[in-house]
Amino acid sequence: MADAAEFQATQDFLDVFVAEELWGDLLGPVDAPAAVAAPQPTAAASNARRPTPKQQIDRLQDEVRQLSAQLHALGTDRPQPKPPARSRRAEFWHQVAARQLERRRSSESENGKLREMAKLQIEEAKSLRRILKRRTKIQRLQKMLGGEQQKPQQEARPLAVSTKEDERVFERMLLDVDVLYGKMDALFVEKGMDTIPCPGRKRRTDNAALNGVCFELTQREAVPFSVEMVKDAVADVQFCTQNSEGDIDTVMISFFAAQAKAQTTGVKVRKVVRRYDGDSRTVFIYRVLMEPKLYNLGEHVGVHATSTLLLAIQHGGTSDETTLIQSHFSARRHDEGLTAGHLMRLSVNLNVAIAVWDESISRIYEQVENRLMDKACLKRHNQDASTIDQALGK
C-alpha cells in the first residue's frame, strides 16, 4: 500500500514539472525523416533554456519595481483635487480659533501683570495720601506763623495750530489717496500679492533708510464671514464717516500727541481714511502724516514720516461665507538733514518706529477679527433665544 502511494506521488511530480520536457517530442506529430535527422538535445542545452526559480523571482521583482515607478509618476502628474469649500471654511475657523486662544492666553498673562501693577499703584496712592496729609499740616502751620511761601506758577506754552495749513495738507493727502486707488491693482501685482500664501505675510525693513521706504508689509488673510460683516467690522474699527461723496466715504483727523520729559513736545498727526465701494470689492485706504515738533512754538525738526495702508475686501471664492482680505502697508521717511533731528536718525529709534508700525497693522486685523467673533456669537445667541421662545410657544 505504501509502495502504491509513493508511486502515485512520483507520477504526479513528473506530470507537473517534467512532463512536457520528457514527453513533449514524443506526443507531438513529427515526420519520420526529420525525427531521424534531428539531433537529440542534450541535458545541458535543456537546462540552459529553462530559467531557474531565482531568475524568475528576480525578473518579477524588476517588473514590480518598474510598475511601481510608473504608478508613482502617474500619481505625481495627476493634479491634486481642491479641498471642498466646507473643509476650507472649517480650516479658516480652526485658524481663527487658534488665534483667539493665543490672544486669550496673552490677555490672561497681561491681566496678572496688571493686577500686580494695581497693587503697586494702591501702595503708591496710600503713600501719596500720607504725603499730602503731612504737606497740609505743614501749610497750616506756615499759615499760622505767617510764613507761607508762594510758588511761582509755570507759564503755559501756547500751541499754535494753523487751520489753513491743515486744510492744505489734507487736500494734498486726499489727492494722493485717489491716485493710490487708481494704481492699487498694479501695486498688488508688483508686490507679488498672488504669490503670498493665505494666510501669510511678506515683510521688508530697512532701518538705515533716512529718505524713502523703510518698512513694507504685504498680507493676505481669509476669514469665515460674509463680505458685509467684514466691511462693517473694518468700518467700526478704523472709520467714522464725516463727509460722503456718492460711494466714497472720507474722514480726516488731526491731533497733537504730547510727550513729557523729552526734547520734543510730541508729534503732529494728520490722518485721512477713504472708502471705495466697487462691484466686486471694497477698498479702504489710510494715509497718516506724522511730524515731530520742538518746544519752541511747535517748530519742526526736519523729519516726518508718511504711512499708507491699502486694504481690499472681496469674496474668497469658495463660498459666500468666506472673505479674502488683502493689504499692503508702507512707511516712508523724509529727512531734511537739520541738526534738530539728529536723534531721529539713530537706528534704535528707527527700529522702534518699525516695531510700532508692525504692531499697529497686526492690531487692526486682531480688532476686526474680535468684532466679527462678537457679532457671530451675538447672532448665535439671538437664534438660540428665538428657538427657545418658539419651543415655549411665546
What integer pLDDT is reported at residue 162 of this predicted model?
A: 53
Residues 195 and 104 in one domain: no
| Residue 204 bridge partners (DSSP) | 216
127, part of any domain: yes
Residues 107 and 224 in one domain: no
Residues 324 and 371 in one domain: yes
Residues 235 and 122 in one domain: no
pLDDT tier, 11 (very low <50, low <70, confident <90, very high otherwise): low
324, part of any domain: yes
Find out whether 298 and 266 touch, Cβ atoms under 8 Å: no
Burial 18-56 (b: 16+ CB within 10 A, else e): eeeeeeeeeeeeeeeeeeeeeeeeeeeeeeeeeeeeeee
Residue (of 223, 248, 244, 221) closest to 326 by Cα position:
221
40, part of any domain: no
What integer pLDDT is reported at residue 12 of this predicted model?
A: 59
Preceding amide of 199 cis, omega within 30: yes
51, part of any domain: no
All 3 cell numbers of residue 221? 488673510
Which CATH number fits the domain that encloses residue 267? 3.30.530
Structure confidence by residue, pLDDT tens digits, 215-239: 999 999 888 888 888 888 888 887 6
Find out whether 219 and 326 touch, Cβ atoms under 8 Å: yes
Instruction: Return the SS3 of 42.
Output: coil
Structure confidence by residue, pLDDT tens digits, 143-175: 777 644 444 444 434 334 457 777 888 889 999
| Residue 252 bridge partners (DSSP) | 272
Residues 115 and 220 in one domain: no
Residues 330 and 181 in one domain: yes
What integer pLDDT is reported at residue 186 of this predicted model?
A: 93
Find out whether 285 and 308 touch, Cβ atoms under 8 Å: yes
User: How many CB atoms neighbour CB 61 within 10 A?
Assistant: 10
| Count of structural domains within the chain | 2
Residues 101 and 202 in one domain: no
Helix (H) or strand (E) holding 35: helix 32-37
Domain span at 167: 163-378
Residues 205 and 299 in one domain: yes
Inform me whether the pLDDT recorded for 20 exceeds 70: no
pLDDT tier, 26 (very low <50, low <70, confident <90, very high otherwise): very low
221, part of any domain: yes
Among 123-137, 156-170, 314-328, 349-363, the range with the most confident prediction by mean pLDDT is 349-363
What integer pLDDT is reported at residue 226 of this predicted model?
A: 86
Last residue of a domain, one of 78, 105, 138: 138
Residues 323 and 176 in one domain: yes
Rounded-to-integer distance, Cα 203 and Cα 357, Å: 12
Q: How many residues does the chain have?
A: 394
Instruction: Return the SS3 of 310.
Output: strand
pLDDT tier, 246 (very low <50, low <70, confident <90, very high otherwise): very low
341 vs 269 pLDDT, higher one: 269
Amino acid at 164: K
177, part of any domain: yes
Rounded-to-integer distance, Cα 193 and Cα 326, Å: 8
Rounded-to-integer distance, Cα 315 and Cα 333, Å: 35
Residues 168 and 121 in one domain: no
What integer pLDDT is reported at residue 41 of this predicted model?
A: 52
What integer pLDDT is reported at residue 5 of this predicted model?
A: 55
Residues 118 and 183 in one domain: no
7 vs 379 pLDDT, higher one: 379
**What 8-state DSSP symbol labels residue 52?**
P
Mean pLDDT value of segment 5-14: 56
Residues 116 and 168 in one domain: no
For the chain, give the mean pLDDT.
75
Rounded-to-integer distance, Cα 187 and Cα 181, Å: 10
Give the list of residues 6+ apart from residue 244 with CB closer than 8 angstroms, or none: 250
Instruction: Return the SS3 of 317.
Output: coil
Inform me whether the pLDDT recorded for 50 exceeds 60: yes
